[in-house]
Chains A and B, each alone.
Chain A
Amino acid sequence: MIFRRQRPDPEKPGQDGPGKDRPKGSANGPQGLPGISVTGRRAGTFCLLLIVALAVQATRVQVFKADSLNHNSANQRLTIQRYAQPRGNLLVGAEPVTGSAPTGGRYDYKRTYTDGSQFAAVTGYSSQVFGNTQLEGVEDGLLTGTDSRLAGWAVWDEVARKQNPGGDVYTTIDKAAQQAATQGLGGQKGAVVAIEPATGRILALASTPSYDPGTFAGSSNADQDAWNKLQADTNQPLLNRALRQIYPPGSTFKVVTAAAALSNGVVTDLNASTGAPYPYILPGTTTELVNDTSSCDQAGLSLDIAMVYSCNSVMGYLGAQVGLGRMVSMAENFGFNDPKLDIPVRPARSNFDTRMNQSQVALSSIGQFDTAATPLVMAMVAAGVANNGTVMYPQLVDKLTRSDGSTVQLMKPTTYKQAMSPGVAAQVQQLMADVVENGTGRNARISGATVGGKTGTAQHGVDNTGVPYAWFISWAKPSGSGNVPPVAVAVVIADSSATDVTGGGLAAPIAKSVMRAVLTGG
């Protein structure tokens, strides 16, 4: 150490002031007390001990308590670090729909959006104050550069505290389809989801009314005001209706029921009598399941007629014939009851009850009772039928790249479920094509293309007094093409001001324009 006690004492007798005759050694202070050589060293040791105490406390703070202090809610450092560099971008096609702008404030960069409200259902928002949602939230690590897959020399980067530049997220969105969806929805409250059936790629994901996520990306008062206004809006613009809201699917669910009936041999010939009685009294009750059109009001209709005219009595009867277990399993083939259908954004869970009596099964089979679906799942129904019975896992992200463009992860098409055999799928396709050709879905016809669809007009509210949800699900392919249709769509209009709300009237034209946008490539 610095003070060596065994060191010879420099104090020599005779040279110190008082106490000339002191003996040498430690007892050379007054009257045998220790001298300054000893007390000085003790005081020095005391000072050094104080410094040791400081070093111990510094170690406590900087090593042992560092993590909890760094994550303290009042500590701005993690937030500062997160906005210290431009955020990676979200791309549609090859074009970024996001950007970063310097703020000049404490948080260096804030998010900007190109055509923000059009892509809000895809991107979500990234706000310095209000957090990150949807793709901005799910891929936040990659976009901010903290994702470990971006790191080069991990150990050295750790030492140097190198921040990797944010990576980019390429979405599967088709710009033309997205545009058609947004324009089609216009000022109505609703959502559109379009899927490429063969791959599960999501081509359009729109929800209206929408919002511009760029208006509250920063941390200024204007951002706060914009946010407050959106929060207070009774039309809930921040709600992503395409993913996060479930609606009773109404008659569009009859596609699932038809697939179940055909798959399980309840119906074999599309044009033969199904044996459905008329009137159809719900099993165990005295209630008749009524139809919306008199064309359905006879016994022994075929499945094809029942689909073309959307006959509740026939499809309810068929659902009950298929039975609870097999109806549940067919519904789950399309994503119902899956709480983690992450695309990678997590949608709301679509519901088809698993414990019901026969009358409830019949009602559920025509998309009523507790049956409720996100537009995403209803698009999966149409896509599964179009893809010859194979439901592909829906994906919103095409690939993740580093800032230099090199690929971090490439998404591959994945099968979700084999919902039905290709033969059954061909039959259901025929039914859907007939709906568009001859039935309630005529508004979706596209010249030069084969279109299959199903309308739905779902009553809801107390005693069905709410404005009905207008649904349409469909797929389309060029006429004569033997390939899998390149597009499947689900459209829901949740709260229209139109006087005559029907799926065919309101939703089918939107589906048509989205499908046409994909078919013509823009």
Chain B
Amino acid sequence: MASPSAAARSGPPVAGPVKSRRNTELALVVGAVLIAVFGYVEVGANIDGKLPSGAVGYGAALGVLALLAHGVVRWKAAYADPLLLPIAILLNGIGLVVIYRLDRATPKSAAAPTQLLWSALGMALFIGVVILLRDHKILQRYAYIGALAALVLMVLPIFFPPVYGARIWIKAGPLSLQPGEFAKVLLAVFFAAYLAVHRDALALTGRRVWRFQFPRGRVLGPLLLIWAVSVGVLVLETDLGQSLLFFGLFVVMLYVATARTGWIAIGLILAASGVAVVGWLSPHVHSRVSDWLDPLGSIAAGQGANQIAQSLFAFAWGGVLGAGLGLGHSILIGFAAKSDFILATVGEELGLVGLVAVFLLYALLISRGFRTGVALKDPFGRLLAIGLAAIVGLQLFVVAGGVLDLIPLTGMTLPFIAQGGSSVVTNWIIVALLVRMSDVARRPLPEARP
């Protein structure tokens, strides 16, 4: 009996061995590395008119890491979705290229070497997770410990000095970490485990108001509590992006688990009231909202272009085809050009075409995550895969929407691309979990093996 997902992929259901698609993955991985190396060479050629001296070392480092990761997937997760790893490598590679390119505009602070180290660490963790995590259901057992750990991670930065107005960093010597990045994975695990157990109770009990069914407080209590604590901590740390992300993740996973549209209604009401209250209380948020509504307002007021305006200038300069790697001026955005605003450089130098290509990569990655969730059989795995994919999707929307002036700017890192060690490591763990779970989802049932 063929696995359902294989049947879906090849049209009419056919009996026979499920293809592992590992060679497809290898080809795509090689392609991803080559594209990244080509981008690196382009930056050097466009800025200096010659090949960058580090091209060989850079290409070799990325290539070796990529092949190692592929080898481990081939060895330990032979039926994993063949698109997940190549897309992650390509996005990470594009990020390294763009950061290297921005380094060229800031000769005094080079971020690319550090980012390459973090990427290596992330890929090492990817390898570790794929090898060590035999079955994702094990995670279900540690859900509550994980939730506690997540809370600790989120509270920790309060004891460290704020960086650019946000208390989201902890510093240890030369290292600075954003623990909230790790916390979101732990929270996704917790939400998945909790909802897998309680989803019937959440869905079936409660009272009906007009067309929506609202759950009872007793069932809702623990969830609401952990959500309130996490959001409260984040508001205290003035990290709105993470706050928005956790909230969105919470609502999406609740809806997926219970199919209750009431959750969406509650979510929208909570979000609206939250935004109103925070916007009223915090001048920081208030200015973000007014910048969003009128990004060019500061120019008319004679204060020059603010960061959103500079970001829009960068995107506009890129036009359809882009200025070319190394030939844009997104460094004018100023601080956070390599992290929160990195997408503006992509838009300026690769144009709308390059930007949409990057969006499509994310869309593929996310849809593969959701597809993994739908194909799995255990509720915990399903919810976890969907939650992890939703993290990537929501984070992309919050970041890209912010720098494109679609929504207020909230300061978050673009998955895999933006500068930031914690972020890149976390995203590699997310992909590792998805690879692990997609292997389970696609693996032929034991009795089907010849």
Contact = CB atoms under 8 A, between A and B. Distances in A.
B351 to A, nearest CB: 7
Interface residues of B, number: 68
B217 interface: no
Interface stretch (A58-66, A236-244, A389-397): A58-66
B184 to A, nearest CB: 15
Interface string A37-69: 111111110111011011101110111011101
B196 interface: yes
A179 to B, nearest CB: 41
A4 B406 CA distance: 29
A34 B7 CA distance: 23
B352 A40 contact: no
A415 interface: no
Interface stretch (A8-16, A184-192, A465-473): A8-16
A63 B359 contact: no
B329 A80 contact: yes
Given A43-B256, A54-B406, A31 B8 contact: no
A108 B406 CA distance: 34
Interface in B191-249: 196, 199-200, 203-204
Interface stretch (A71-79, A289-297, A310-318): A71-79
A77 to B, nearest CB: 5
Contacts of B389: 44, 47
B259 A33 contact: yes
Interface residues of A, number: 58
A93 interface: no
Nearest to A58: B355
Contact of B259 (A18, A34, A159): A34
A29 interface: yes
B325 to A, nearest CB: 12
A77 B312 CA distance: 12
Name which of A7, A61, A73 has the most chain B CB atoms within 10 A of its CB. Answer: A61
Contact of A48 (B4, B203, B363, B400): B363
A18 B382 CA distance: 14
Contact of A47 (B200, B312, B382, B393): B393
Interface stretch (B47-55, B91-99, B316-324, B428-436): B316-324
A43 B394 CA distance: 11
Contact of A33 (B7, B258, B304, B366): B258
Given A57-B406, A70-B317, A161 B363 contact: no
B414 to A, nearest CB: 11
Interface string B288-320: 000000001001000011000100110111111
B319 A48 contact: no
Interface in A420-452: none
Contact of B313 (A15, A18, A75, A160): A75
Interface string A1-37: 0111001111110011111000000000111011111
Interface string B363-401: 100110011011101110011001001100110110011
B382 A40 contact: yes
A39 B255 contact: yes
A77 B366 CA distance: 35
Contacts of B390: 43, 47
Nearest to B372: A40
Interface in A153-184: 159-161
A42 B312 CA distance: 32
B5 A62 contact: no
B377 to A, nearest CB: 5
Contacts of B296: 72, 74
B8 A4 contact: yes
B104 interface: no
Contacts of B299: 72-74
B33 interface: no
B317 A77 contact: yes
A51 B362 contact: yes
B143 interface: no
A47 B249 CA distance: 11
Given A47-B393, A61-B312, A54 B204 contact: no
Contacts of A67: 316
Contacts of A29: 203, 258-259
Given A17-B196, A48-B367, A51-B397, A75 B305 contact: yes
A66 B259 contact: no
Nearest to B396: A51
B68 interface: no
Looking at chain A's contact residues, the main secondary structure is helix
A10 B204 contact: no
Given A41-B374, A161-B324, A77 B329 contact: yes
Given A30-B199, A69-B312, A74-B305, A54 B317 contact: no
Nearest to A158: B321
Nearest to B376: A10
Contacts of A63: 319-320, 352
A161 B356 contact: no
B383 to A, nearest CB: 7
Given A44-B389, A50-B393, A62 B324 contact: no
Contact of B351 (A18, A37, A62): A62
B203 A77 contact: no
A8 B359 contact: no
Nearest to B385: A40
B79 to A, nearest CB: 14
B405 interface: yes
Interface in B254-276: 255-260
Contact of A40 (B8, B13, B355, B374): B374
B52 to A, nearest CB: 20
B364 to A, nearest CB: 8
A47 B43 CA distance: 32
A44 B388 CA distance: 11
A18 B199 contact: yes
A6 to B, nearest CB: 10
B347 interface: yes
A30 B258 contact: yes
Contact of A11 (B305, B329, B377): B377
A292 to B, nearest CB: 58
Contacts of A11: 377
Contact of B304 (A12, A51, A74): A74
B315 A62 contact: yes
B43 to A, nearest CB: 16
A12 B3 CA distance: 12
Contact of A50 (B200, B320, B386, B397): B397
B327 interface: yes
Name which of A62, A70, A159 has the most chain B CB atoms within 10 A of its CB. Answer: A62
Contacts of B329: 76-77, 80
Name which of A2, A10, A19, A161 has the most chain B CB atoms within 10 A of its CB. Answer: A10
B356 A55 contact: yes
A8 B304 CA distance: 57
A19 B319 CA distance: 53
Name which of B324, B363, B383 has the most chain A CB atoms within 10 A of its CB. Answer: B363
B39 to A, nearest CB: 17
Contact of A69 (B5, B7, B313, B363): B313
Contacts of B316: 61-62, 65-67, 69-70, 75
A347 to B, nearest CB: 36
Nearest to B380: A17
B439 to A, nearest CB: 15
A62 B370 contact: no
Closest 7 CB pairs of A and B: A44-B370, A47-B393, A69-B316, A74-B305, A10-B4, A66-B316, A33-B259
14 contacts: A4-B8, A10-B375, A16-B379, A29-B258, A33-B260, A36-B379, A40-B256, A41-B370, A43-B255, A48-B367, A50-B396, A54-B406, A62-B319, A74-B305
Given A53-B401, A77-B317, A161-B327, 17 more contacts: A2-B363, A3-B371, A17-B196, A17-B379, A18-B200, A18-B379, A36-B257, A36-B382, A36-B386, A47-B390, A47-B393, A50-B393, A51-B393, A54-B397, A58-B355, A69-B312, A75-B317
